[in-house]
Amino acid sequence: MVKLLISGRVQGVGFRPFIYNLAHKLGTKGYVCNVGGQVEVVLEKAHLEAFLKELDNKPQEAQITAITQEPTATLDTPFYIAPSCGVDLSLKDSLPPDLAICESCLKDTQDPTSRFYNYPFTACAHCGPRFSLLESLPYDRPHTSMKDFQLCEDCAKDYNDPTSRRFFAQTMSCPKCPIALHFLSPQGIERQNALQEAIDALKAGVVVAIKGVGGFALTALATNKEAIEQIRTLKARPFKPLALMVPSLQEALKCVHLSPPELTALSSKEAPIVLALKKTQEYDHLAPNLNTLGVLLPYTALHFLIVQEVGAIVFTSANLKSEPIITNLKDLQAKFPHICVLNHDRPIMHGIDDSVVRLVAGKMRLVRLARGFAPLHLPLSAPENILGMGGHNKTNLCWLKEGCLVTPELGGFKSMASLERYKEDLSFYTKLYGVPKVVGLDLHPGYLSSQVGKEQNAPTQEVQHHTAHLHALLAEWGLTHTFKDGQSVLAFICDGAGLSYAKSIWGGEVFLATYQKGFFKTEHLHSLETTFYPSSTSLLKDAHSLGYALAYQHHLAFAPLLCESTMAKNLATIISKRIATIPSTSVGRLFDAVAGFCSVGTINTYEAQSAMQLESLATTHPTDEFYPFEIQEDILIAPMLKAMERDILSENYALAAKKFHNTLAHIALGLSVRYNLPLLLGGGVFLNRLLGDTIQEIFKDRVFFLPEILPPTDGALALGQVHFVANSLKGSHASC
Ligand SMILES: [Zn+2]
Ligand SMILES: [Zn+2]
């Protein structure tokens, strides 16, 4: 007989039931079981070839990264599922992500003859929450927060029936062995008929906090502006776009334009929020001053049962500004007292937000790497156990050794609550993967992630922010392209802010990376022309102050129109004397400043607010024209600003906004032409759809690359850090 050890995403996806049924179809003896994070199969050698061939028909969500085989002793038992055994986990083993409810389960919840009719937690071996309720591996009920829920007779029968979709379904429950729902009034009083109470409250325009897969969401009837204002007040988010949960694809199509890739993403197992172009003004109050709206479909029976009765609801993570998503009732009631709550009894082990995606340059890109997509496993390896600590926004962790794991992004990282959640995450993964040999962290000493990194019992290596972006791009590009010796690529990183080696702020950087003998030599080639911006945190958020600072330094005639005279005088003084200012090459700040010029700039109450408003304005103008620029040692923006002056003075704001976007796309093209190399694009700026689409249009056959499996944002930094450290372990000390 032969023993196989199968690695990859093979737990929590209905893999053992699949193997069991396959083995019985083939008529082999043997067994299957979970071992650590892998699956072990013993079968007769005579059936091996047919077995391996049939593995192609594995469950849709399963992914196999490696199969090893060895001879083993003869076994004379009909094929069975053996108890799991735990061995040390490796980074090759996948942590199963949370999956949206499958079509069959959804049908069950709508079928009056099914015992799952109207049951909010219907799931099977192929769908439902996984990671959010996982305590450890192997993926079995005793290792999840379902461990205290006993299966009823019917469920036990399904669990043991190889012909059932719920054969070996670890998180199954039904109305006879239910996860109970509880509706609490604003006074904390529990009411009967929890689901109906929540539906009635939502219909009446009341805000309800609903416990879901990875945490609580604040929800309200989407057309009720008062309730939405209440949510904005609760979250201290006056303008931030809020997502819309719609009952069906047909309903989504009434609100937004959806191309085939967007439709596919919306109804995928990952069930992310899709940022799509608005079709009507009906939901403008959810995403004020923007041309996009985030939509998502219900991804559990609970959410489905609610929206099919209520209609579209606003759906946003329950968290205070800069804090992580709330996962338990106690915290919810402490932070949002006096609201209605729909709670349930299944504990959440890992708080996780909804993922967000957006179509840019023809493909779906990740805005937020979270539920459904993460933990993300990548087939990368390194000789040592390396940990990446991430950055300051969109912080996550990355582990690299036999395999590579990127954790879900933490919502915000500017509070004690988020620091605690980050440390909890860190200790969960350290238990699984051991203490790292080297820790990669951002160069910025003020980042909490860097500080926590230095507290680990391991040597640390500082990685410059944009160099980490570069390495994240190299890692992802390398998964689909084989690097040959001497081969080079160019990278253009545009984002908000990262500390440079010279302690200035970078954010518009061009790098060259050359592959040689197994590692990359990298070189910093260009920066965007430096601007001095005020260093105060409040002024840095104000597009008009930034606009004034930029206009003043370039002697643009409209500078005095950008802010009132006392402010202008103060800004002029600090800039000319270079006090309380910071030299910056940031493209993010350039966007803010130009938004200030174009009258759509504001005091940013959420990240990239002015930039997104500028993008929305730009899409209203059809021009292909762009402003002049020069690529010398720096990328000079002075010619662009001088040419823009006329358009701003004549108040042609949409034209100026569009020409500005076109200019950035042409700078990217100029770099590609000058070096005649593939151009990798990274940094949050490249979530700008207009910019990405324009680049796609003007590049024609020239090669450019935008990340697809990682976000271009700081959510990729942890991966970049481990890739950088692994690269330097291989011998490259020529860093940039
Ligand atoms: Zn299902
Ligand atoms: Zn049951």
Residues known to be catalytic: 16, 34
- Ligand nearest the Cα of residue 104 is 1
| Residue closest to 584 by CA, chosen among 703, 497, 485, 683 | 497
Which distant-in-sequence residues (6+ apart) come within 8 Å of 178 by Cβ?
119, 121
Residue 61 pLDDT: 84
On whether residue 713 sits in a domain, the answer given is no
Q: Mark whether 345 and 380 lie in a shared domain.
A: no
Residue 94 pLDDT: 83
- Ligand nearest the Cα of residue 99 is 1
- Ligand nearest the Cα of residue 150 is 2
Of 118-122, 168-172, 212-216, 309-313, which gets the smallest average pLDDT?
Answer: 168-172
Q: How far apart are CA 366 and CA 369, in angstroms?
A: 6
- Ligand nearest the Cα of residue 158 is 2
Q: What pLDDT digit, counting tens, does each position of 367-380 carry?
A: 999 999 999 999 99
Which distant-in-sequence residues (6+ apart) come within 8 Å of 163 by Cβ?
none
Cα of 122 vs centre of ligand 1, distance in Å, is 7
The strand pair at 488-499 and 679-682 is best described as: parallel
Maximum Cα interatomic distance, the chain, rounded to a whole number of Å = 90
Cα of 8 vs centre of ligand 1, distance in Å, is 21
Query: Which residues does residue 521 pair with via DSSP β-bridges, in sequence order?
Result: 514
Alpha helices in 502-628 (DSSP H): 537-540, 543-553, 565-577, 587-597, 609-618
Question: Does 735 score more than 70 pLDDT?
Answer: no
Q: How far apart are CA 393 and CA 404, in angstroms?
A: 21
Q: What pLDDT digit, counting tens, does each position of 330-349 carry?
A: 999 999 999 999 999 999 99
Q: Mark whether 345 and 425 lie in a shared domain.
A: no
Cα of 113 vs centre of ligand 2, distance in Å, is 15
The strand pair at 256-257 and 273-278 is best described as: antiparallel
Residue 731 pLDDT: 66
Q: Mark whether 380 and 347 lie in a shared domain.
A: no
Torsion of CA 259, 265, 266, 272, to 10 degrees: -140
On whether residue 234 sits in a domain, the answer given is yes
Q: List b or e across 258-271, with b for residues whose CB sees 16 or more CB atoms inside 10 angstroms.
A: beeebeebbebbbb
Cβ(92)–Cβ(405) under 8 Å?
A: no
Cα of 310 vs centre of ligand 2, distance in Å, is 27
Cα of 130 vs centre of ligand 1, distance in Å, is 12
Q: Where in the sequence is the domain holding 268, given as residue range(s)?
A: 181-357
On whether residue 585 sits in a domain, the answer given is yes
**Taking residues 358-367, what's their average pLDDT?**
98
Q: Mark whether 380 and 421 lie in a shared domain.
A: yes
Question: How many structural domains comprise the chain?
Answer: 4
**Residue at which a domain ends, from 330, 357, 384:** 357
**Residue at which a domain ends, from 436, 463, 490:** 463
What is residue 724's three-state secondary structure?
Answer: helix
Q: How far apart are CA 404 and CA 407, in angstroms?
A: 10
Cα of 430 vs centre of ligand 1, distance in Å, is 32
Question: Does 734 score more than 50 pLDDT?
Answer: no
Question: Does 60 score more than 90 pLDDT?
Answer: no
On whether residue 32 sits in a domain, the answer given is yes
Which distant-in-sequence residues (6+ apart) come within 8 Å of 714 by Cβ?
390, 391, 392, 393, 394, 395, 495, 684
Q: What pLDDT digit, counting tens, does each position of 614-628 carry?
A: 999 999 999 999 999
Instruction: Pick left, alpha or beta for residue 438 (phi over 0 → left; psi -120 to 50 → alpha; otherwise beta).
Output: beta
Q: How far apart are CA 339 and CA 206, in angstroms?
A: 9
Tally of residues, the chain: 736
In this structure, which amino acid lies at residue 447? Y
Q: What is the CA radius of gyration of the chain?
A: 27
Cα of 447 vs centre of ligand 1, distance in Å, is 42
Cα of 105 vs centre of ligand 1, distance in Å, is 4
Question: Does 88 score more than 80 pLDDT?
Answer: no
What does the mean pLDDT of the chain come to?
94
**Taking residues 263-280, what's their average pLDDT?**
97
Instruction: Pick left, alpha or beta for residue 699 (phi over 0 → left; psi -120 to 50 → alpha; otherwise beta).
Output: alpha
Q: What pLDDT digit, counting tens, does each position of 649-705 carry?
A: 999 999 999 999 999 999 999 999 999 999 999 999 999 999 999 999 999 999 999
Question: What CATH number did the domain enclosing 227 receive?
Answer: 3.90.870.10
Cα of 170 vs centre of ligand 2, distance in Å, is 12
Question: Does 547 score more than 90 pLDDT?
Answer: yes
- Please give the span between the terminal C-alpha atoms of the chain, in angstroms, as a whole number: 54
- Ligand nearest the Cα of residue 119 is 2
- Ligand nearest the Cα of residue 177 is 2
Report DSSP letters for 138-166, one per residue.
S-SGGGBTTTTPPP-HHHHHHHT-TTSTT
Q: Mark whether 411 and 555 lie in a shared domain.
A: no
C-alpha to C-alpha distances, 580 to 287, 427, 506, 568, 596, nearest whole angstrom: 34, 39, 17, 15, 21
Cα of 268 vs centre of ligand 1, distance in Å, is 13
Q: Mark whether 344 and 284 lie in a shared domain.
A: yes
Q: How far apart are CA 578 and CA 725, in angstroms?
A: 36
Q: Mark whether 344 and 392 lie in a shared domain.
A: no
Which distant-in-sequence residues (6+ apart) come within 8 Å of 322 by Cβ?
411, 412, 413, 414, 415, 418
Q: What pLDDT digit, counting tens, does each position of 225-236 carry?
A: 999 999 999 999
Q: What pLDDT digit, counting tens, does each position of 475-515 carry?
A: 999 998 888 999 999 999 999 999 999 999 999 999 999 99
The strand pair at 438-442 and 386-388 is best described as: parallel
Q: Mark whether 567 and 693 lie in a shared domain.
A: yes
Query: Which residues does residue 63 pair with via DSSP β-bridges, in sequence order?
Result: 9
Residue 733 pLDDT: 46
Q: Mark whether 315 and 429 lie in a shared domain.
A: no
Report DSSP letters for 488-508, one per residue.
EEEEEEEEEEEE-TTSSEEEE
Residues above pLDDT 90, as percent of the chain: 88
Q: How far apart are CA 355 and CA 409, in angstroms?
A: 9
Cα of 176 vs centre of ligand 2, distance in Å, is 5
| Residue closest to 163 by CA, chosen among 312, 21, 351, 349 | 21
Q: Mark whether 630 and 539 lie in a shared domain.
A: yes
Q: How far apart are CA 53 and CA 74, in angstroms?
A: 23
**Taking residues 116-139, what's their average pLDDT?**
94
Cα of 106 vs centre of ligand 1, distance in Å, is 7
**Taking residues 165-184, what's their average pLDDT?**
95
Is residue 712 exposed (0-12), middle (13-18) or buried (19+ Cβ within 10 Å)?
Answer: buried
* Band of residue 570 on the pLDDT scale cut at 50, 70, 90: very high
Question: Does 736 score more than 70 pLDDT?
Answer: no
- Ligand nearest the Cα of residue 176 is 2
Question: What CATH number did the domain enclosing 403 receive?
Answer: 3.30.420.360
Q: Mark whether 433 and 546 lie in a shared domain.
A: no
**Taking residues 721-732, what's their average pLDDT?**
88
- Ligand nearest the Cα of residue 179 is 2
Question: Does 459 score more than 80 pLDDT?
Answer: yes
C-alpha to C-alpha distances, 591 to 296, 545, 644, 712, 730, nearest whole angstrom: 28, 13, 13, 17, 38
Measured at the alpha carbon of residue 92, what is the angle toward residues 87 and 96, in degrees to the nearest 5? 85
Q: How far apart are CA 358 and CA 295, in angstroms?
A: 11
Question: What CATH number did the domain enclosing 700 receive?
Answer: 3.30.420.40
Cβ(292)–Cβ(241) under 8 Å?
A: yes
Cα of 177 vs centre of ligand 1, distance in Å, is 17
Residue bearing tokens 């000390």: 733
| Residue closest to 69 by CA, chosen among 27, 7, 11, 138 | 7
Q: Mark whether 241 and 203 lie in a shared domain.
A: yes
On whether residue 472 sits in a domain, the answer given is no
On whether residue 127 sits in a domain, the answer given is no
Cα of 165 vs centre of ligand 1, distance in Å, is 7
Question: Does 597 score more than 60 pLDDT?
Answer: yes
Cα of 38 vs centre of ligand 1, distance in Å, is 22
Query: Which residues does residue 38 pair with via DSSP β-bridges, in sequence order?
Result: 35
**Taking residues 48-76, what's their average pLDDT?**
91
Q: And the tokens for 139?
A: 């993926």
Q: What pLDDT digit, counting tens, does each position of 41-58 carry?
A: 999 999 999 999 999 999
Torsion of CA 646, 652, 653, 657, to 10 degrees: -70
Of 157-166, 174-183, 407-416, which gets the smallest average pLDDT?
Answer: 407-416
**Residue at which a domain ends, from 446, 463, 480:** 463
Question: At CB < 8 A and 24+ separation, what contacts does 229-236 make?
Answer: 231/207, 231/314, 231/316, 234/207, 234/336, 234/339, 235/316, 235/319, 235/320, 235/321, 236/320, 236/321
On whether residue 520 sits in a domain, the answer given is no
